[in-house]
Structure 1
Amino acid sequence: MGAALLASWPWDNLGFYKYVLYGPLVGKAVASRAWEAASPDRWILLLLLLFGLRALTYQLWSSFSNMLFATRRRRVVRDGVDFDQIDKEWDWDNFLILHALMAAAALCAFPSLRHLPAWDGRGFAVALVAHAAATEPLSYLAHRALHGSSGRLYARYHSLHHSSRVPQPFTAGLATPLEHVALGALMSLPLAAARAAGCASVALAFAYVLAFDSLRAMGHCNVEVVPASLFRAIPALRYVLYTPTYHAIHHTKKEANFCLFMPLFDLLGGTIDRRSWDMQRKMSAGVDEVPDFVFLAHVVDVMQSLHVPFVMRTFASTPFSVQLFLLPMWPFAFLVMLAMWVWSKTFVISCYNLRGRLHQIWAVPRYGFQYFLPFAKDGINRQIELAILRADKMGVKVLSLAALNKNEALNGGGTLFVNKHPDLRVRVVHGNTLTAAVILNEIPKGTAEVFLTGATSKLGRAIALYLCKKRVRVMMMTLSTERFQKIQKEAPAEFQQYLVQVTKYRSAQHCRTWIVGKWLSPREQRWAPPGTHFHQFVVPPIIGFRRDCTYGKLAAMRLPKDVRGLGACEYSLERGVVHACHAGGVVHFLEGYTHHEVGAIDVDRIDVVWEAALKHGLRPA
């Protein structure tokens, strides 16, 4: 059987270059100076402006939908949006291109439409009546036909729209060309009615189309925004205005709630799901959600702060890198940083499910450089402490601290909070035991000698003690003989000879395995012999200046395949990969460990935690 008519987009293979289809309109607008009031092609500029505002409408609703710190209690479908759905909806705006071409064709075919007055208030009343009398019932009938008993139309066309598990504003655009052609025709009916009545206007076209888009995006946003008190005060209103809950029921149940925006037609057609109002009331009030595990992250810098789903969902679903389109957004992000500095509050930025248990990523509103300001230390610790106490009160089982949130100089790797609150039920975890395990398991078997910088840090100490017990010679780069001797005495007497203090980088000029826990300048890296591999646990990671050497990434692990609802990359890591300290918190929770993992790393537990991680399906990245 051949492909169904208008079931796929003709420009699917163009990728980003599909926007070239706007080229003739843009070229014509520039050539005719359409921005001038006397230009005969001013209508082209208005058309491009309208479609720019349409795209912005869906983007703003998407941003709102993904602001979990503000909306998570009123989400209708509780699952997160995963990578598969994001990829499926990547070209959600195809229908905007189609509608723009349809509108341009109509304006070319009927030149009189190009010269509408700016305003005519009568047109709004005519359009409202035409929408209720024509667009709504026809949309209802068409929608029911797509769900018809034979299932052919549904399978060929409408199943694509329902393939997204979690409704999102961009899901409104996930449909076949045939469906969007029909939608465009139905949208034009009220405008055509106003034109026939002699009261159409530019203001009406903008207002009606943008209101139409706003209602579609609102219905798909998966966050209940209509207060239940409004329906209690005006019961009849529930049949005039649908809600995100009402539409989400259709997405999950499929055989009920077919209306466009007005449930009145479901009432007349006998297709209302009677649970709709009770569910809407419940979602409007908010549903508390207690995660089992929380990873307490932090922002790295101003640019990286834009790498979150509520800024741009598609960008957040790819590993972070500085892109040109971010530059115009930098001033706004900087102002937000200042506001967050003043009004500090931990917020939820992502959530996912691992084996049916809810995991959340919270973020402390502090940026990387702020952790190194002496006067900011107390304020940062206060925010981390409040997050821990909030998690404890909620009933969270494990809270894991991200890189700088467990800095030794800041709070002793989390010991400050555990000592201050000895009765905590939530387990506080720095996750560095698994970080050490990942680094150690990257070192090739048979390695006889390594060079270690950051040797007296928490991770450096654990790595040195572990390797010396494996009879690997560890050159520990440190100027402090006292700190070196303290670590050396921790090793069993028969292994202490394998720990060697060095004070100059030239001492490692014949060692091809460098473990880097302290930033290395190009001058310092030059001492490494050709073929050296740099393993890293320094934040931020060192820059690879040597072409004759290889550079490892920060310790990370790939989450199990049964993770659901994960749709954002963790900083510059690949999809489904998290930093080892994050994975360490996950293992701590899955294993049901009852101890806090703070302060110094227990070297004897490195292999235990590593085996537990592998047992639960985590794999080194």
Structure 2
Amino acid sequence: MGSAVLASWPWDNLGFYKYVLYGPLVGKALASRAWESASPDRWILLLLVLFGLRALTYQLWSSFSNMLFANRRRRIIRDGVDFDQIDKEWDWDNFLMLQILMAATAFYAFPTLRSLPLWDARGLAVAALLHVLVTEPLFYAAHRAFHHSGHLYACYHSLHHSSKVPQPFTAGFATPLEQMVLGVLMAAPLAGACLAGYGSIALAFVYVLGFDFLRAMGHCNVEVFPSGPFRALPVLRYLIYTPTYHTIHHTKREANFCLFMPLFDLLGGTLDDQSWEMQKQTSAAPGMGYAIRPQSMTTLTSPSSITSSSVDEVPDFVFLAHVVDVMQSLHVPFVLRTFASTPFCVQLFLLPMWPFAFLVMLAMWVCSKTFVINCYNLRGRLHQIWAVPRYGFQYFLPFAKDGINKQIELAILRADKMGVKVLSLAALNKNEALNGGGTLFVNKLPDLRVRVVHGNTLTAAVILNEIPKGTTEVFLTGATSKLGRAIALYLCKKQIRVMMMTLSTERFQKIQREAPAEFQQYLVQVTKYRSAQHCKTWIVGKWLSPREQRWAPPGTHFHQFVVPPIIGFRRDCTYGKLAAMRLPKDVQGLGACEYSLERGVVHACHAGGVVHFLEGYTHHEVGAIDVDRIDVVWEAALKHGLRPA
């Protein structure tokens, strides 16, 4: 494909630096003070504003498309958008760069365009007429040609159809040749209006943004039209396409070629017979609807590609997460899809968004409604990630405790009512001081069908399997916590000396008594960090200050299960990340990173819930960790294809 003419973008290798191509226009606008009404280069500023608004249009539709909490019942293709598709569509805005260069060239070639009036209503009528008579039929013909010519499809149009799930950004994911053709067709009505003497600045903004709005809508994978107007006025079916209508084209590929008006598919004999029935069923929520499932995305031409399913699909497994802080709340697909697909870290471009995110935090605190933020498929079963609308610092406010537990309880009851098999609690949602590691809910709701899991058994297993063989001594902080207790009891049975950092002799002795008599000698209470100044294996379950870290000898490795993780102050030491596991290779539709973890890697408590579901365990995993099950759960995780990160 790369050897064909205009099949690849000339700035493909520039990465982020491709935006330097905007430099001459921006520089010219600044040099001529284009924001002043008397500036002869005011058109440059207007052009830049227009293309900024175009990019915003696609971004807003992308945000809407990924708001699973708002539109999951109207999604057409139920599969998630995976990392491969996100990477392929990373430079979706290439066409905007191409078309702004084309527009700038036209303004330089035809100086009269620089003095267009602000508004002329007659131009809108002319542009609308030319769109119907010129742009729509020519696009239809060109689109069919790209499909029916083996060379054109293989070298050009197959790239657009390689995206499994249509997204607003998919609209811009095409080759330069296709985008040049589209740019010319889009410019034809505007050129016609200008030639007729009715061109205007407002017309350019209205037509171009309207064009982008409809293109992004058609690719959004969410049915936004109710079926009522189409039943009341059947003629509307041929005047405006719907997301369902266009998605059929992405799955069957030999039907529904139109730009925005199905009339031309009707005239050309390419209108899919099931289009309106599918649109009706998809828009009927709640109830029963159709979901398109493109198994291989090759050539799906039979009705078997359309299967009846519940509009509100029930997940088998739910991971109940929470927001860490205001910045991290922006690390979700419905804010910036590409940013969410990379491990979280604070970026400068996030700073202007902080005030908005803070206001959203306040609104979420008031609304207090758990929402779906992501989903993926594993072994053909739907897994969803829900989020409790609470931020990390709120978990440490004494007056917020009851409210947070109420939200978690409502999420558990909702999952139980839906038929979810397993619900796993994220870090702070299972805090011992908050709800006893989930014990509160199991005791209060004895008839639950959903299994509540804290996942700490696998978390302990991950940490323990990180410890190098041959280790004879470890230093353990947070020693009397759920994880600290389990780690200490496990290691002492392996005849490893565990220095348990705790000031409470009573709690230490309680744990020591749980160990078999012959191994109790390996559990040692220490009350000062200096006691570990010769131990190079630190297991950290309580936050360490720089001063406390100073007691570790050079070459120490800090294993961690503390939230938030400690900061690596020592250059002569190494720091492990929070316990995590890589999901099996057959996971599908996963397109967002879990906090700061790599792609496909989830926290061990999340993975623990997955294993609980895959193994079909029928018990709740709450409260104290059963030390005898650590190895059992570890082997089960490896058996199902999970791997330590």
Instruction: Please indicate the TM-score interval, normalised by the length of the shorter structure.
Output: over 0.9
Cα distance in 1 between the residues matched to 2:481 and 2:164: 45
Give the AA of the match of 2:60. L
SS at match of 1:353: strand
Q: How big is the shift at 1:578?
A: 0.3
How far off is 1:232 after superposition? Answer: 1.3
Alignment partner of 1:563: what SS? Answer: coil
Distance 1:34 1:543 in 2: 48
Supply the distance in 1 between the matched residues of 2:536 and 2:107 (Cα, whole angstroms): 70
Paired residues of 2:401 and 2:434 also in contact (CA < 8 A): yes
TM-score, normalized by length of structure 2?
Answer: 0.96
Q: Secondary structure at the match of 2:577?
A: strand
Amino acid at match of 1:418: V
Counterpart AA for 2:358: F
How big is the shift at 1:536?
Answer: 0.4
Distance 2:13 2:537 in 1: 45
Deviations 1:24-74 (A, max 9, x none): 111111111111111111111111110000000000000010111001111
Superposed counterparts of 1:235-314, under 5 Å: 235-286=234-285, 287-314=311-338
1:22 aligns with 2:22: yes
CA contact (8 A) 2:540 2:562 kept: yes
**Alignment of 1:183 onto 2:207:** no
Q: 2:485 aligns with which of 453, 461, 470?
A: 461
Residue 510 in 1 paired to residue 510 in 2?
A: no
Deviation at 1:136, TM superposition (A): 0.2
Amino acid at match of 2:413: L
Partner of residue 335, structure 1: 359
Question: What is aligned with 2:300?
Answer: none
Q: Does 1:616 align with 2:640?
A: yes
Instruction: Give the deviation of 1:197 after TM superposition.
Output: 1.7
Query: For residues 145 and 167 of structure 1, do their structure 2 counterparts lie closer, same or farther at Cα, with a shift above 3 Å needed?
Result: same
The normalised TM-score by structure 1 is 0.99
Counterpart-to-counterpart distance in 1, 2:422 and 2:154: 44
Task: Show the counterpart of 2:139.
Answer: 139
Kindly provide the amino acid, as one letter, of the partner of residue 241 in structure 1: I
Separation of aligned partners in 2, 1:51 and 1:520: 49
Question: 24-33 or 563-572, which moves further after superposition?
Answer: 24-33
- Kindly indicate whether the alpha-carbon contact (under 8 Å) linking 2:127 and 2:190 is maintained by their aligned counterparts in 1: yes
Offset from partner CA, 1:569-592 (integer Å, 9 cap, x none)? 000000000000000000000000
> Could you tell me which of 625, 628, 632 is aligned with 1:601?
625
Counterpart code for 1:237: L
SS of the aligned residue for 1:336 comes to helix
Distance in 2, matches of 1:601 and 1:530, equals 33
Distance 1:575 1:513 in 2: 28
2:420 aligned residue (396, 402, 406): 396
Which amino acid letter does the alignment assign opposite residue 173 of structure 1? G
- AA partner of residue 58 (structure 2): Y
Match for 2:516: what amino acid?
Answer: P
Residue 147 of structure 1 aligns to a residue whose secondary structure is helix
Q: Which residue of 2 aligns with 1:88?
A: 88
CA distance in 2, matches of 1:98, 1:2: 18
Separation in 1, partners of 2:70, 2:98? 34
Cα distance in structure 2, aligned partners of 1:168 and 1:383:
32
Q: Who is 1:320 aligned against?
A: 344
| Separation of aligned partners in 2, 1:450 and 1:78 | 48
Tell me by how many angstroms 1:285 deviates: 1.2
> How far apart in 2 are the matches of 1:523 and 1:117?
69
- Unaligned 5+ segments in structure 1 are none
Rounded Cα–Cα distance in structure 1 between residues aligned with 2:448 and 2:233: 47
| Aligned match for 2:562, one of 538, 558, 564 | 538
> What do residues 408-459 of structure 1 show as CA deviations (whole Å, max 9, x unaligned)?
0000000100000000000000000000000000001111111100000000
Q: Which residue of the partner structure matches residue 67 of structure 2?
A: 67
The CA distance in 2 between the partners of 1:39 and 1:534, in whole Å, is 62
* 8 Å CA contact retained: 2:611, 2:633: yes
SS at match of 1:557: strand
The 5-angstrom pairing of residues 171-210 of structure 1 reads 171-210=170-209
User: Partner amino acid for 1:40?
Assistant: P
The alpha-carbon deviation at position 119 of structure 1 amounts to: 0.5
Segment of structure 1 superposing worse, 272-281 or 393-402: 272-281
> Within 5 Å, which residues of 2 pair with 1:149-160?
150-160=149-159
Q: Which whole-Å CA distance do the structure 2 matches of 1:40 and 1:527 have between them? A: 68
* Residues 452-495 of structure 1: CA deviation (Å, up to 9, x unaligned): 00000000000000001111111100000000010011111111
Q: C-alpha distance in 1, partners of 2:537/2:20?
A: 50
Give, as a single letter, the amino acid of the residue that structure 2 aligns with 1:448: T
2:38 is equivalent to residue 38 of structure 1: yes
What is the alpha-carbon distance in structure 2 between the residues aligned to residue 593 and residue 429 of structure 1?
10
Structure 2 Cα separation of the partners of residues 21 and 446 of structure 1:
58
CA contact (8 A) 2:2 2:8 kept: no
Counterpart of 1:561 in structure 2 is 585
- 1:220 shift after superposition: 0.3
CA separation in 1, counterparts of 2:242 and 2:41?
40
- Do residues 111 (structure 1) and 111 (structure 2) align? yes
Distance in 2, Cα, partners of 1:113 & 1:182: 21
Matched AA of 2:239: V
Counterpart CA distance in 1 for 2:528 and 2:3 is: 69
**Cα offset, 1:406, TM superposition:** 0.2
User: Given the alignment of the two structures, is residue 231 of structure 1 paired with residue 255 of structure 2, yes or no?
Assistant: no
Asked if 1:473 is matched to 2:497, the reply is: yes
Instruction: Name the residue aligned to 1:124.
Output: 124
Q: Which amino acid aligns with 1:6?
A: L
Aligned residue identity for 1:195: C
The Cα of 1:196 is off from its aligned counterpart by: 1.9
Q: Does 1:361 align with 2:385?
A: yes
- Aligned match for 1:377, one of 375, 380, 401: 401
The counterpart of 1:488, out of the listed 512, 518, 523, is 512
Who is 2:76 aligned against? 76
The equivalent of 2:294 in structure 1 is none
Give % identity: 87
**1:347-368 Cα distance to aligned partner (Å, 9 max, x none):** 0000000111100000000000
Aligned partner letter, 2:389: P
| Residue number in structure 1 paired with 2:293 | none
Whichever residue aligns with residue 135 of structure 2, its letter is T
Q: Give the aligned residue type for 1:383.
A: Q
Task: Kindly provide the CA deviation profile for residues 539-586 of structure 1, in whole angstroms up to 9, marking residues without a partner as x.
Answer: 001111111111111000001110000000000000000000000000
Offset of residue 4 of structure 1: 0.8
Secondary structure at the aligned position of 2:90 is classed as coil
Cα displacement (A) at 1:282: 1.1
Deviation at 1:387, TM superposition (A): 0.2
Partner SS state of residue 285, structure 1? coil
In structure 1, the partner of 2:602 is 578
The separation in 2 between residues aligned to 1:128 and 1:546, in whole angstroms, is: 67
Provide, for residues 76-134 of structure 1, a one-character-per-residue CA deviation record: whole Å limited to 9, x for no partner.
00000000000000000000000000000001101111111101011111111110111
Q: By how many angstroms is 1:2 displaced?
A: 7.9
- 2: CA distance, partners of 1:359 / 1:21: 42
SS of the residue 1:501 aligns to: strand
Q: Distance in 2 between matches of 1:24 and 1:503?
A: 65
SS of equivalent residue, structure 2 residue 91 = coil
